[in-house]
């Protein structure tokens, strides 16, 4: 080997070593960028990403879907059961523990008092992620303040007014992680609300005014006044509430007052322990009411309360719309809507007749 070749070999080795060193620097330099990306991803995962606004305008935020829910709101519990979140309910109000079509979908639920007198100690021991209570006009009840003081998150929703039902359902879907089934449920309510509105689009106070309605509570001669959700329902169907000028939230009137108002239609609200046929007969035979147009035209109806104040309010809306405008809803059966609800969402719901006389 010549002297020149002896010097050439080390130089080749050094060049190769230098190339490897440069390559190593480039690789490690690029790799140093990855921790920043990983850190950003981790921060997004851990941040609060579920927010809903409740009945009182409070923003409720959760970092993940609620898995342990106390429910004082029966209507909210029914929706949770219907959208597949029943097993996330761990506590319920004593007032609806006997509603088997709800409770059978909530196998982990125990009674924890009620809306007015919650068993706060028991609630605390259950370690809930969230308590759902009813949202009602005015301020939240003082009884719930004890729960709030225990650092338990409270969400107020009503879940019964047909105007808000779809929106409330979507809120429950976000906080429980059951968006797909809840969307189907929300669209069920929206579909029938839109159907009624579209068919009554030509009815207004100024053009083809709707009928005048006496909507009586389960107490005789007690009115549904303008500040009630029943009045909201009458507004949707373009009916005129004969109590529109009464400012009291719950007013009782005399038979003479009703006779003087001479309503076109009478709708009586009842509970499930009342016999619809017997109530209808009693109204038709009340002294003096024989002079009223609604009785003379046989337009007196009896409606179960939870058809206008529950997640099934879509069926209640159609019952009322068909009673007021039978020709416009001749092809629609409210009973079929209840059966659809049963088959699609809660198989154990008793889709019994909720309206009399049957339409």
Q: Are 82 and 180 in contact (CB under 8 A)?
A: no
Per-residue pLDDT band for 28 (boundaries 50, 70, 90) equals: very low
Return d(Cα 195, Cα 192) in angstroms, integer.
5
How do residues 316-352 score in pLDDT, each as one tens digit? 999 999 999 999 999 999 999 999 999 999 999 987 7
Q: Kindly list the distances between the CA atom of residue 227 and the CA atoms of 193, 224, 245, 323, in Å, as whole numbers in the listed order.
A: 21, 8, 11, 23
| Domain boundaries along the sequence of the chain | 50-187, 200-356
Q: Could you check whether 50-187 and 200-356 share the same CATH topology?
A: yes
Mean pLDDT of the chain: 86
pLDDT at site 359: 87
* pTM, full prediction: 0.83
Say which range, 15-19, 39-43, 83-87, 142-146, has the weakest mean pLDDT: 39-43
pLDDT at position 205: 57
CA Rg value for the chain: 31
Phi/psi at 242 (5° precision): -70, -10
200-356: CATH topology: Rossmann fold (3.40.50)
Q: What pLDDT score was predicted for residue 273?
A: 84
Mind spelling out the 3-state secondary structure of 112-140?
CECCCCECHHHHHHCCCCEEEEECCCCCC
Looking at 3.30.413.10, 3.40.50.300, 3.40.50.10490, 3.40.50.1980, the CATH number of the domain 50-187 comes to 3.40.50.1980
> Is 27's pLDDT higher than 60?
no
Question: If we measure between CA atoms, which residue out of 215, 287, 220 comes closest to residue 244?
Answer: 215
* DSSP code at position 213: E
pLDDT value of residue 48: 53
Stretch 231-258: mean pLDDT? 91
């Amino acid at each position: 080997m010549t002297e020149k070749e002896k010097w050439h070999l080390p130089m080749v080795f050094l060049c190769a070593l230098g190339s490897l060193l440069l390559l190593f620097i480039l690789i490690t330099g690029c790799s140093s960028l990855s921790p920043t990306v990983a850190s950003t991803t981790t921060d997004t995962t851990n941040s609060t990403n579920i927010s809903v606004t409740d009945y009182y305008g409070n923003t409720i935020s959760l970092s993940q879907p609620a898995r342990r829910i106390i429910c004082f709101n029966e209507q909210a519990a029914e929706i949770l059961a219907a959208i597949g979140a029943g097993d996330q309910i761990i506590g319920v109000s004593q007032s609806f523990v006997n509603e088997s079509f709800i409770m059978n979908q909530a196998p982990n639920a125990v009674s924890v008092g009620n809306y007015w007198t919650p068993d706060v100690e028991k609630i605390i021991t259950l370690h809930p992620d969230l308590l759902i209570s009813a949202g009602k006009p005015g301020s939240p009840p003082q009884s719930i303040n004890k729960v709030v003081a225990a650092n338990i998150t409270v969400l107020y929703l009503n879940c019964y007014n047909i105007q808000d039902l779809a929106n409330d359902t979507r809120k429950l879907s976000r906080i429980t992680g059951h968006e797909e089934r809840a969307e189907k449920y929300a669209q069920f309510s929206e579909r029938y609300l839109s159907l009624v509105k579209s068919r009554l689009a030509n009815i207004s106070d100024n053009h083809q005014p709707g009928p005048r309605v006496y909507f009586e509570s389960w107490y005789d001669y007690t009115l549904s006044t303008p500040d009630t959700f029943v009045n909201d329902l009458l507004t949707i169907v373009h009916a005129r509430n004969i109590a529109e000028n009464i400012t009291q939230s719950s007013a009782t009137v005399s038979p003479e007052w009703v006779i003087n108002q001479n309503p076109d239609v009478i709708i009586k609200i009842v509970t499930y322990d009342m016999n619809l046929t017997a109530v209808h007969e009693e109204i038709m035979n009340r002294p003096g009411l024989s002079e009223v147009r609604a009785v003379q035209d046989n337009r007196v109806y009896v409606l179960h309360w939870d058809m206008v104040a529950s997640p099934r309010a879509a069926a209640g809306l159609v019952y009322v719309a068909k009673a007021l405008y039978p020709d416009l809803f001749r092809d629609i059966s409210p009973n079929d809507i209840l059966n659809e609800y049963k088959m699609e969402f809660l198989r154990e719901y008793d889709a019994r007749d909720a309206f009399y006389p049957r339409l």
